[in-house]
Every structure is written in C-alpha cells, then in structure tokens.
C-alpha cells in the first residue's frame, strides 16, 4: 500500500525525513480445526461412495454427540477415482471414494479427544490446524503499532535536528516475512509475547504477525534567534 500527497503537496520543496516503523504481534490461537479424510474402496463405484457416505454421516454424528455444535462440523463433497491394476495389463480393478470432514473447537485441549473419535473410522489422513478468530482485529492493531513507531522516530529525529514535523508526504506499507534484514530498521515495536505462555514464550500454535511501514514527513526548520 502506498499513499502520497496530491500534486500540489508533491511539488513542495524543502527538507524531508523518511522513517521506518516495524511492529510485530504474537497471536495465540483460540480455535483448532481437525481435518479428516475418509476413504473406502470397492469393486463398484456406487458401493465405494455408499461406504464413504455412511462413514461421513457416522463421524459427524459422533462429533455432535461429543458436544460439538453442528455448525462447527463441515463435510465435504464425495469424490471417486478408479484404482488401476498393475502394468502391463492396466485396467480398472476397483474404485476409491473419499470425503472430508472438518471439525472446529474452541477448546484447544480437546484436539486429542476429537482425533481419537475420528480414528475409529476409515480415515486415510488426519491433521490439525490452529488459528485465531481475532486475526482481523490483530492486523488493525499491528498497523497502528507500526505507524506509531514511525511517528515516534520521526518526532525524535526532528527534535534532534531542531525542527518540527510537517505534513505526511507519503506512506508505504510492506509485509515482512521474518526478522532477517531488520538490523538497519529505524524502530521495532513488539507487543508482549505470548501472554498465555510462561516466560514470554510463544504459545503452541501461535503465529507472529509482522508489518513494516515507511513514512515520509516534511520538516519545518525552527527560525534561528
């Protein structure tokens, strides 16, 4: 994202200062998704599909019985693929059907229990993913932290140079993927790490959001007495 002053503002001559503001926020997850793939094989495609459909409905029912809200259980469409015989007599020897089920819980400690329930069915894969329902709000907070960091640095620079900050001439936003390359940054702000984890460590499944902004200000020199 790049924001610049209008043509009249850009035409203004005079000293300017360009500063970087960098911020990071560690976001702890409050949701866990259990991704399950059910599969079945049969000589007839209709039998394979029927077997997977039965497994899918049974798993969804078991998850509801375990206390999950029906809206927290998402079922995917059925798919079917041929199973080929070995070369050189390549031909369809059976059919494999599959379907996905995703169960979401706000009780992260239940992930093992939910996985055990899923393991009782004909699954071909099982994985978990942690995420935060507050990600949008955290990104808003992150941008504000980065802009405040840039402003504070610009104010410090202007004070040392015996000047005042004028209008904002340009703002450029760029996402950072890691700490590498930040050694020359003007300012870094880091929100308290992992409030839910001991000794400031990241909580399991936490992600670190990082953002850098580049802000250019006009400088107004103080008159010399």
How is the chain split among helix, strand and coil, in percent rounded to 5?
30, 40, 30
- Residue 124's pLDDT is 95
Rg (CA), the chain: 28
Which has the closest alpha carbon to 80: 57, 52, 122, 101? Answer: 52
DSSP letters of 78-129?
A: PEEEEEEPPTTS--EEEEEEEEEEEEEES-GGGHHHHHHHHHTS-EEEEEEE
15/10 Cα distance (integer angstroms): 12
- Residue 56's pLDDT is 96
- Residue 206's pLDDT is 77
Where do the domains of the chain lie?
2-29+134-221, 31-131
Which of the listed CATH numbers 3.30.450.20, 3.20.20.70, 3.60.40.10, 3.30.70.2970 matches domain 31-131? 3.30.70.2970
Which has the closest alpha carbon to 64: 100, 98, 31, 105? Answer: 105
- Residue 208's pLDDT is 87
- Residue 174's pLDDT is 79
Residues of the chain with pLDDT under 50: 1-11, 177-202
The CATH class given to the 2-29+134-221 domain equals: alpha beta
Query: How many CB atoms neighbour CB 214 within 10 A?
Result: 18
- Residue 204's pLDDT is 58
- Residue 14's pLDDT is 81
Model confidence, pTM = 0.66
55/66 Cα distance (integer angstroms): 16
């Amino acid at each position: 994202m790049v924001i610049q002053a209008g043509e009249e503002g850009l035409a203004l001559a005079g000293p300017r200062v360009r500063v970087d503001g960098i911020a990071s926020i560690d976001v702890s997850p409050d949701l866990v998704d259990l991704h399950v793939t059910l599969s079945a094989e049969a000589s007839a495609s209709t039998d394979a599909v029927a077997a997977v459909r039965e497994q899918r409905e049974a798993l969804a029912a078991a998850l509801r019985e375990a206390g999950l809200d029906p809206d927290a259980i998402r079922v995917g469409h059925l798919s079917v693929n041929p199973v080929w015989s070995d070369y050189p007599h390549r031909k369809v020897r059976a059919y494999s059907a599959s379907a996905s089920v995703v169960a979401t819980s706000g009780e992260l400690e239940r992930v093992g229990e939910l996985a055990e329930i899923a393991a009782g069915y004909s699954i071909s894969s099982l994985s978990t993913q942690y995420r935060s329902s507050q990600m949008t709000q955290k990104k808003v907070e992150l941008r504000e932290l980065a802009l405040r960091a840039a402003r504070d640095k610009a104010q410090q620079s202007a004070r040392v140079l015996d000047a005042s900050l004028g209008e904002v001439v340009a703002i450029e936003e760029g996402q950072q993927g890691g700490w590498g390359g930040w050694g020359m940054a003007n300012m870094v702000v880091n929100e308290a790490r992992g409030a839910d984890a001991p000794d400031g460590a990241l909580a399991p499944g936490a992600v670190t959001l990082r953002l850098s902004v580049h802000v250019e200000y006009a400088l107004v020199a103080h008159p010399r007495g």
